[in-house]
Amino acid sequence: MASSQKAVQMSLGAVRSLSTGMARLQAASAQGMLASSQGAAGQMEKPVMVATQVPILGATPSAIASGIRASAKASPMSLAPQRSMSVLAASKMVGAGCATIALAGVGAGLGVMFGSLINGAARNPNIAKQLVGYALLGFALTESIALFSLLVVFLILFA
């Protein structure tokens, strides 16, 4: 009985802290208290909200939900600073992501190979040692494909 009351108290505490945070965001956006700062390189960052202390004790769930919706519509990512990226840097990231597609094939190949090893050893236990040798050779060759793929990724990003 005591543990369920404690869980309810913890849930109510979480709701209170969420509603207090939403009230702070609403008050800051209503008063227009936005602070913009410059980075070390002179690039402009997105505005950052300044929190104010506004207690709300009798907030209804619909008021909290409407506050969340309003703040999401107004500025979905206003609290995270945004960095600008050049076209070359962005294309490097896309190329590196495309080069890692080979890693999915390596994972699938290893799964099929070791699955076949277990199947073959179960069907013919007399040649299990020979099959393990073949599987380790196949593992090494398949992992070399993964290493070549990662080499290409690092060449794309850093060369």
Check which CATH number belongs to the domain holding 110 and give it: 1.20.20.10
Cβ pair 96, 156 in contact under 8 A: yes
> Which range is most confident: 5-19, 49-63, 68-82, 139-153?
139-153
pLDDT at 36: 42
Domain region containing 141 = 87-158
pLDDT at 34: 45
Residue-averaged pLDDT of the chain: 76
Q: Where are the alpha helices (DSSP H) in the chain?
A: 2-31, 61-74, 87-99, 101-123, 128-158
Q: Is residue 40 part of a domain?
A: no
Q: Is residue 115 part of a domain?
A: yes
Q: Is residue 149 part of a domain?
A: yes
Domains contained in the chain, number: 1
How much is the pTM?
0.45
pLDDT at 70: 75
Q: How confident is the model at residue 68 (pLDDT cuts 50, 70, 90)?
A: confident
Least confident of 43-47, 86-90, 130-134, 151-155: 43-47
